[in-house]
């Protein structure tokens, strides 16, 4: 009999939807490589709690029936070689540009019992390698993520209740336009961010004019943007109470919380609430906006990503 092989998907120390895209891409890789996936977000996760639990499983049900502890066996071999049964629970550390893991074929098979994926590999590198026998062969990036989310991502009951409580109290029974506006450190990645953000009012007003009675569910990491839009749209604005930062502040995902679990709860709540809305306008460079796009099979005319 052939020995069971695993793909261990570790944290990459990034924002939640960047982590999610990493997980989903590697879940597809695990299917193609015919390895059992195990997701473990350890101490290196921005969402890790102080109790050293698997941060991924604070929010989502386990991906498979195996845990990272099941993989910590001395008889198991590991790839890359820096990993072994003794350090498999340790935080993911930085890697040099010459690291073998950075240049390997993302679907290249190896003989190791446990293949560890601890750096981000873009879905674009996987797509050309999807074999014709795979049921997702031929799909584009967005549709791949949508199908993978539907198959693997199941919210914990506590998280679902956190979402439902806000929806039932503040959003239920109202037509809604979800709007996601980034600020803070996103300017480092998107130098024309302020010009991009100036496009929002025009796009929002189009939806408001075509849909009388619709309200706006606003998601933003910026204190000033929230206040600006509350002044502009008044009672039409709905928003959650969550951590925000000044316009040029450090990203919310890098902020320390008394319990980083709440940080994850807040971004998951906003994203899943947005997917309950009728329309969506977001930032095409943002993993959060892309995640919302991928959470739901939106009709083309009901979603607008700005670039």
Nearest-angstrom CA–CA distance, 174 and 277: 9
Here the contacts of 164-168 (C-beta below 8 Å, separation 24 or greater) are 166/240, 166/269, 166/273, 167/273, 167/276
Collapsed DSSP state (helix, strand, coil) of residue 283: strand
Nearest-angstrom CA–CA distance, 50 and 72: 22
Q: 107-164, pLDDT tens digit by residue?
A: 888 899 999 999 999 999 999 999 999 999 999 999 999 999 999 999 999 999 999 9
Tokens of 42: 């350890």
The pLDDT, as a whole number, for residue 98 is 46
The pLDDT, as a whole number, for residue 187 is 67
| pLDDT-flagged residues of the chain (< 70) | 1-2, 93-104, 184-187, 246, 249-258
The pLDDT, as a whole number, for residue 51 is 78
The pLDDT, as a whole number, for residue 95 is 47
Q: Following CA atoms 86, 89, 93, 97 in sequence, which dihedral angle do they give, to the nearest 10 degrees?
A: 70
The pLDDT, as a whole number, for residue 193 is 85
The pLDDT, as a whole number, for residue 93 is 66
The pLDDT, as a whole number, for residue 190 is 77
Nearest-angstrom CA–CA distance, 295 and 163: 14
Picking from 101, 306, 51, 274, the residue whose alpha carbon sits closest to that of residue 195 is 306
Nearest-angstrom CA–CA distance, 111 and 108: 10
Tokens of 225: 């943007």
Collapsed DSSP state (helix, strand, coil) of residue 305: strand
- Which residue's structure tokens are 């390698």? 129
The CA angle 184-187-190, to the nearest 5 degrees, is 140
Sorted by where each starts, the structural domains of the chain and their CATH numbers stand as 6-152 (3.40.50.11340), 157-306 (3.40.50.11350)
215: DSSP letter:
E
Q: What is the pTM of this model?
A: 0.93
Rg (CA), the chain: 20
Alpha helices in the chain (DSSP H): 16-33, 56-59, 68-71, 100-103, 123-126, 141-152, 157-170, 186-189, 193-197, 200-210, 223-233, 260-275, 287-295
Nearest-angstrom CA–CA distance, 185 and 247: 8
Cβ-count burial 259-275 (b if 16+ within 10 Å, e if not): ebbebbbbbbbbbbbbb
Provide the CB-side half-sphere exposure for 286 (13 A, CA): 28
Tokens of 75: 């008889």
């Amino acid at each position: 009999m052939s020995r069971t092989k695993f793909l261990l998907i570790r944290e990459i120390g990034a924002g939640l939807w960047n982590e999610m895209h990493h997980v989903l891409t590697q879940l597809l890789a695990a299917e193609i490589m015919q390895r059992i996936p195990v997701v473990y977000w350890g101490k290196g996760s921005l969402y890790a709690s102080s109790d050293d639990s698997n941060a991924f499983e604070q929010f989502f049900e386990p991906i498979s029936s195996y845990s990272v502890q099941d993989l910590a066996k001395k008889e198991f071999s590991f790839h890359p070689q820096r990993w072994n049964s003794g350090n498999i629970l340790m935080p993911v550390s930085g890697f040099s540009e010459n690291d073998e893991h950075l240049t390997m074929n993302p679907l290249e098979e190896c003989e190791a019992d446990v293949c560890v994926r601890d750096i981000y590999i873009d879905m674009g590198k996987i797509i050309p390698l999807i074999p014709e026998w795979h049921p997702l062969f031929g799909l584009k990036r967005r549709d791949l993520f949508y199908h993978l989310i539907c198959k693997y991502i199941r919210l914990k009951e506590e998280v679902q209740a956190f979402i439902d409580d806000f929806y039932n109290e503040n959003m239920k029974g109202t037509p809604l336009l979800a709007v996601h506006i980034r600020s803070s450190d996103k300017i480092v990645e998107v130098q024309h961010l302020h010009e991009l953000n100036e496009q929002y009012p025009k796009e929002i007003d189009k939806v408001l004019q075509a849909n009388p009675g619709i309200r706006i569910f606003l998601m933003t990491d910026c204190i000033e943007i929230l206040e600006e839009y509350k002044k502009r749209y008044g009672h039409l604005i709905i928003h959650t109470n969550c951590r925000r930062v000044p316009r040029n502040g450090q990203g919310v995902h890098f902020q320390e919380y008394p319990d980083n679990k709440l940080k994850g709860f807040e971004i998951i709540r906003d994203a899943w609430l947005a997917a309950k809305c009728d329309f969506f306008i977001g930032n095409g460079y943002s993993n959060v906006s892309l995640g919302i796009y991928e959470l739901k099979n939106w009709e083309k005319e009901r979603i607008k990503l700005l670039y």
